[in-house]
Amino acid sequence: MTEQPSTPQTIKVKMKVGTVEFEIEGTVDQANEAVGKFLQTVTEKLKETPLIGGEREAAPRAETCKVIIQRLWEEGWFAEPRGLGEVHSEMARQGFHYDRTAVAHALIDLVKEGVLNREGRPRRYQYIQKRPP
């Protein structure tokens, strides 16, 4: 009996940066790459915008989910074990409203990169820093 290859999970990402809104649908890897490229382009364009009346308006924050979680790690926020819900709530408190699945995927990526450790059982995982920032 041969195993059928599993179909990659598709996700839909909706984002708004300043007055620009966009929606991307694809596999997690495709969405991560597309969002990263989009945010990089937006950030570069914002740097090029001319000053109006001598002052630049506050630029909207354009950061990926993974970058935000890495910043939490750098601040020592993961010194104590944190669940997915806690991470998602802290990001929302800071004004970053990502889908819980995007947060979960970013956490898994950081575990694979050796930044965070994952402890516990499925659906109850706790994430803690593997090494200090």
Specify the CATH number for 63-133; select among 1.10.340.30, 1.10.3720.10, 1.10.260.40, 1.10.10.10. 1.10.10.10
- The whole-angstrom separation of Cα 104 and Cα 88 is 9
Residue 15 has pLDDT above 80, yes or no: no
Q: Which residue has the higher pLDDT, 10 or 108?
A: 108
- pLDDT greater at residue 36 or residue 98: 98
For residues 99 and 92, what is the distance between their CA atoms, to the nearest angstrom? Answer: 10
By the 8 A CB rule, do 13 and 102 touch?
Answer: yes
Whether 14 shows a pLDDT value over 90: the answer reads no
| Tens-digit pLDDT profile for residues 58-99 | 555 568 999 999 999 999 999 999 999 999 999 999 999 999
pLDDT of residue 100: 94
